Amino acid sequence: METTETAPVSTPVDTLSLATKVRHYLKSNGIQYEKFSYLVLGVSQPRLSTLLAKPKPWRLLSQRVQALYHRMKLWMDTRATYGNNPYSKKRQTAGQTRGTKRIIKSSSKRGEPGGSAFL
């Protein structure tokens, strides 16, 4: 007979502080709730939103919900890297886009009038 042992989730976690940190991390790194909830916690996006928006005191949570907060804490302690998200889009300020010149290359063949390329 095969048995599986699960470690009891007994170490209390400050859910309010953790929820604030996770929300800030996801926002600052451009990570979607949907991807984080599915890939890290294995729950739906609305479930993660509820956990982060309305954290309850540790003693009032079921073991299943405590396990979700433990997974978030473990991920924040071990996997979270601030500012190193290669998938985040770089934001450009209005000043960066002004004054840029476009280089137009002519597609006509050599030898034809007006066939020289501007580089």
Q: Identify the pLDDT of residue 102.
A: 57
Question: What's the pTM?
Answer: 0.63
Nearest to 86 by CA among 31, 41, 22, 17: 31
**Burial track 45-56 (b if 16+ CB lie within 10 A, e otherwise):** eeebeebbeebe
pLDDT tens-digit readout, 27-70: 988 889 999 999 999 999 999 999 999 999 999 999 999 999 99
Q: Identify the pLDDT of residue 93.
A: 45
The tokens for 20 are 């604030």
pLDDT tens-digit readout, 58-105: 999 999 999 999 999 999 988 877 666 555 555 444 555 555 555 555
Amino acid at the residue 31: I
Distances 46 to 2, 5, 51, 61 between C-alpha atoms, Å: 35, 29, 9, 18
